[in-house]
Structure 1
Amino acid sequence: MLFKVALFSALVSVVFGAALQQQVPIVSQTGDVSPDGSYEWSYQSGDGSAQQQSGQLKQIGDSAGEVVQGSASWTDPEGGQHQLTYVADENGYQPQSADIPVPPPIPQAILRALEWIAAHPQPQLKQPRY
């Protein structure tokens, strides 16, 4: 009898666990990789979220690097729309979105102090030799 109760409990937990997991279908998807190393991919899912990205190799000084650009969009659980675009290159990752917080401006007194410090560097102390 204990075996039947345990088996029934396991079966019920599997059924309810599967019902609680929301699977979002992929509505469209593309992807391509070229022989020169460039690529692009994109997808859109059934819940309206989408993402796309492309990249290519770029000569940066004496070495090669990769330049990547893309975007993502989604809807949060409260119904708010979000959009993010980005570039990643020799200057680093550069995202742009209305959702990214913007720091407040530097107060004028601190800005003047920083300018004064930059204009009047401290003399370098000589290190003692032993």
Structure 2
Amino acid sequence: MNTLLVLFAILGCSLGQQYRPVPSTPGQIIRILSQTQDGPNPDGSYSWSYETENGIAAREQGHLKAPETMEAQGDFKYTAPDGTPIALQYVANENGFQPSGAHLPTAPPIPDAILRSLEYNAAHPEEEQERPFRRP
């Protein structure tokens, strides 16, 4: 009997360790599994993170890059309603918000004719300066 009880206790602990995202419905309460926060610190640095039982997780850390410039780096992940896993990493600094992730759209390549035209314009700036703009 004790062996059976120990076996069920071990089985219960191992099943409890497995992570399974819980699907959510509107108005449902989702538990926070973990949450941390450090700062803001005297040097301007900070960090935070959290993870919820439905598979949402996020974290960020930031610091003063210069007296008037903050830089933050972070990421978050969740599962889209269609079941697609979404993961996004980002940096935010004086150059703005710079996200990256496999699900983000990318710009199409510049057509060859436009690329050649841009290269020509860059190589011949004097032509732009020589001709004043005239209205037709």
Name the TM-score, length of structure 1 as normaliser. Answer: 0.73
Amino acid corresponding to residue 86 of structure 1 in structure 2? Y
1:23 aligns to 2:32 (yes or no): no
RMSD, aligned α-carbons: 1.9
1:20 to partner: Cα distance:
5.1
1:75 aligns to 2:104 (yes or no): no
Q: Structure 1 CA distance, aligned partners of 2:26 and 2:129? A: 66
Return 5+ residue gaps in structure 2 as ranges: 1-24
1:44 to partner: Cα distance:
0.3
The structure where strand makes up a greater share of residues is 1
Matching residue of 1:13 = none
1:47 aligns to 2:61 (yes or no): no
Matching residue of 1:56 = 63
Deviations 1:65-124 (A, max 9, x none): 111000000011122111000011222221110011111111111100111122223126
The equivalent position to 1:90 in structure 2, one of 67, 89, 94, is 94
Amino acid corresponding to residue 31 of structure 1 in structure 2? Q
Match of 1:42, SS state, is: strand
Q: 1:83 to 1:117 in 2, by over 3 A?
A: same
Match of 2:117, SS state, is: helix
Name the TM-score, length of structure 2 as normaliser. Answer: 0.70
Q: 1:27 to 1:36 in 2, by over 3 A?
A: same
Divergent runs of 4+, >3 A: none
